[in-house]
Structure 1
Amino acid sequence: MCAEQKNRSLRLCASWSYESTKMTRIVSFSGSGLDLGALHCAMLVAFSDYIVPLQPDADTFKAALSSRGFDPEASFVAVDDDEVIGFWNVATRNTKRYLIGSGTRIGHRGRGLASRLGMAAIRAAENAGIENFWLEVIEGNTGAERLYRKMGFGVTRKLDCYRLDHPSPDRSSCELSDFGTVANVIQRYSTWKPSWQNATESLYGAQLTPFLHGKGGVIIGAGGLVHQIAASEPSALEDLLAAAATVGSLTLVNVDSADNALCSLVQKLGAHRFIVQSEMCLSLPNVS
């Protein structure tokens, strides 16, 4: 290729890149004119090659957004020809915001969309007087963690996820109780705060099975998901896990890795740790 042809090709590439960027709108989801169906479709494509492929149906997707407090004004999408090609789905709770999930369609990666979406969401949070922005990133997703660090997020703790087929389910030492009572007992004994999706505010209205023990409690959701568990001593924790297992196989998502008693117990019972996550936080200046 001669120098003139090469320069012409470079100009065409630069022009295409500029036009492509120009056509892509970064807007709040509330201002995009699109519905949750478009967001769901983008999520399925973006997560099809994820470390843990997530392919929820439309109802499950909407329920997950709702329970976490999805905020359309705080969430941002990249839109090309009325198609969502990237997204930052964000929740708001008082003066905190949380990244429910983010992604970019496979064919549109490498254009800096994730960075643009993130910065738009952070600027909106600052303008709204938000104090902290929270997220989680799976260990091994180095590209995402590098981007979050560049934006100013720092790791606050490590979170472990386990699957457990309990060898001896037994609810004889526990009793079914109401959500509020068990949540208060867990709060009394817990040494760490549950992550956003397991927080009490995220569980209202969900299908739950709360077990009460004389020295603790456990709240189990649909599919054996252990949202919260705490007790005053390891033997009570063991009783609670045995009771929880009467609903079936258990999944413990986002256990604080510093909770040696719980982590050691589930591993002793044969649990498989399938994910480790880093919880990250960005403290924001109030510019409202």
Structure 2
Amino acid sequence: MRLHSLSLIDFPLIHQAFRLAFSDYLHAGQPQTDERAVAPGADAQLRAPAAPMQHGGQLFFVHLHGLHCDEAGPIGYCVATGVTPDARRQGLLQAMAAAVSRRLASRGIQRQQLEVISDNAAAMAAYLKLGFRPRRRLDCYRIEHALAVDAAPGWRCEAADRSQWPRWPLHSEPAVPNSRDSLERARPPLLLMTAKQNGDLLGYALYSAAGDVAELAVAPPHRRRGVARSLLAAVQRDTAAPALAISNLDADDEAGAGLLRSCGARLWLSQWEMRRP
């Protein structure tokens, strides 16, 4: 086994390895650029982590690591780790974890964080063995049908310049991919939809052109009036995406989950946020 920087490997080979590694769980399309595969939570000095290769030139393990900062300081964030099916149970995860830990420690970073798909028992067991512990469950939803809304709700939803993003206080700590520094770094830049009534801002949605809703907020006095549903419907119309995706909702956010269920959203994936130490 040899370790290589991903910057030295052609992106189609990396993409092929990821598709094989996650074929058990996800069917993901190819990102628009290699930057988009690494951007959430990553910083430039950690965007080319090591990757093992077979002697024949086939990439069978890829690991993307970034740097995130929270209130306690910097933390190493595992954006994605994948082992192709025919190379599992050979100790590759342990070897890579040790290499990443040494690299982070050389920069004075001891804490690490990642997410594991909840029904991936083998990965969960492996990370528990490496000293990671679950912090909370994060749920991912999809809305796959057109949302019906009141034709005259009393407010107007319209696209706004992203520089006007209000950044209202959030119900809970966002997952790293949904943290505001990660969303600022998103490429292409995210879009902003606002709901206003008589010039007052009632709520907003931050989203991608592919229909990924990264942040949805409604001012407390205007909740339970249909504002959030109107915003989601407006995002649907603006993107024409086949589905809206709302990812990494804290499982303890009962209000958020209730809203999504009322919109007919389907829970399609749950994952555990894990941290070490």
TM-score interval, normalised by the smaller of the two chains: 0.7 to 0.9
Aligned CA distance change for structure 1 residues 72 and 37 (closer, same or farther; 3 Å) = farther
Q: What residue is the counterpart of 1:262 in the other structure? A: 256
Whole-angstrom CA distance in 2 between matches of 1:203 and 1:240? 20
Whole-angstrom CA distance in 2 between matches of 1:67 and 1:234? 32
Root-mean-square deviation (CA), in Å?
A: 2.6
Q: What residue is the counterpart of 1:120 in the other structure? A: 99
Work out whether 1:129 is the aligned partner of 2:108: yes
Whole-angstrom CA distance in 2 between matches of 1:57 and 1:27? 22
Aligned CA distance change for structure 1 residues 51 and 62 (closer, same or farther; 3 Å) = same
Q: Secondary structure at the match of 2:171?
A: coil
Instruction: Map residues 105-116 of structure 1 onto 2, 5 A cutoff.
Output: 105-116=84-95
* Paired AA for residue 208 in structure 1: L
Alignment gaps of 5+ in structure 1: 1-23, 284-288
Q: What residue is the counterpart of 1:12 in the other structure? A: none
Work out whether 1:245 is the aligned partner of 2:239: no
* Paired AA for residue 242 in structure 1: S
Work out whether 1:280 is the aligned partner of 2:274: yes
Q: What residue is the counterpart of 2:198 in the other structure? A: none
Residues 189 and 216, structure 1, Cα contact 8 Å, conserved in 2: no
Whole-angstrom CA distance in 2 between matches of 1:69 and 1:173? 36
TM-score normalised to structure 1 length: 0.77
Residues 37 and 58, structure 1, Cα contact 8 Å, conserved in 2: no
- How far residue 281 of structure 1 moved from its aligned partner, in angstroms, is 1.3
Q: Deviations over 1:32-81 (max 9, x none)?
A: x4343432232122222x22233x32635542323542655662211222
Q: What residue is the counterpart of 1:46 in the other structure? A: 21
Work out whether 1:224 is the aligned partner of 2:211: yes
Work out whether 1:89 is the aligned partner of 2:64: yes
- How far residue 275 of structure 1 moved from its aligned partner, in angstroms, is 0.8
Work out whether 1:177 is the aligned partner of 2:150: no
1:64 to 11, 17, 37: 37
Aligned CA distance change for structure 1 residues 74 and 206 (closer, same or farther; 3 Å) = closer
Whole-angstrom CA distance in 2 between matches of 1:257 and 1:100? 20
Work out whether 1:189 is the aligned partner of 2:169: yes
Percent identical pairs in the alignment equals 26
Q: Secondary structure at the match of 2:194?
A: strand
Residues 207 and 222, structure 1, Cα contact 8 Å, conserved in 2: no
Aligned CA distance change for structure 1 residues 273 and 235 (closer, same or farther; 3 Å) = farther
Residues 28 and 72, structure 1, Cα contact 8 Å, conserved in 2: no
Whole-angstrom CA distance in 2 between matches of 1:160 and 1:29? 30
Residues 159 and 254, structure 1, Cα contact 8 Å, conserved in 2: yes
**Larger Cα-atom Rg:** 1
Q: Secondary structure at the match of 1:93?
A: strand
Instruction: Map residues 210-221 of structure 1 onto 2, 5 A cutoff.
Output: 210-213=192-195, 214-221=201-208
Aligned CA distance change for structure 1 residues 255 and 192 (closer, same or farther; 3 Å) = same
Q: Secondary structure at the match of 1:137?
A: strand
Structure 1 stretch displaced more, 204-213 or 192-201: 204-213
Work out whether 1:208 is the aligned partner of 2:190: yes
Work out whether 1:155 is the aligned partner of 2:169: no
Residues 140 and 248, structure 2, Cα contact 8 Å, conserved in 1: yes
* Paired AA for residue 253 in structure 2: D
Whole-angstrom CA distance in 2 between matches of 1:173 and 1:212? 8
Q: What residue is the counterpart of 2:239 in the other structure? A: none
Q: Deviations over 1:72-130 (max 9, x none)?
A: 56622112224322121111235222111111122222211122112211221122112
Whole-angstrom CA distance in 1 between matches of 2:229 and 2:78? 30
* Paired AA for residue 125 in structure 2: R
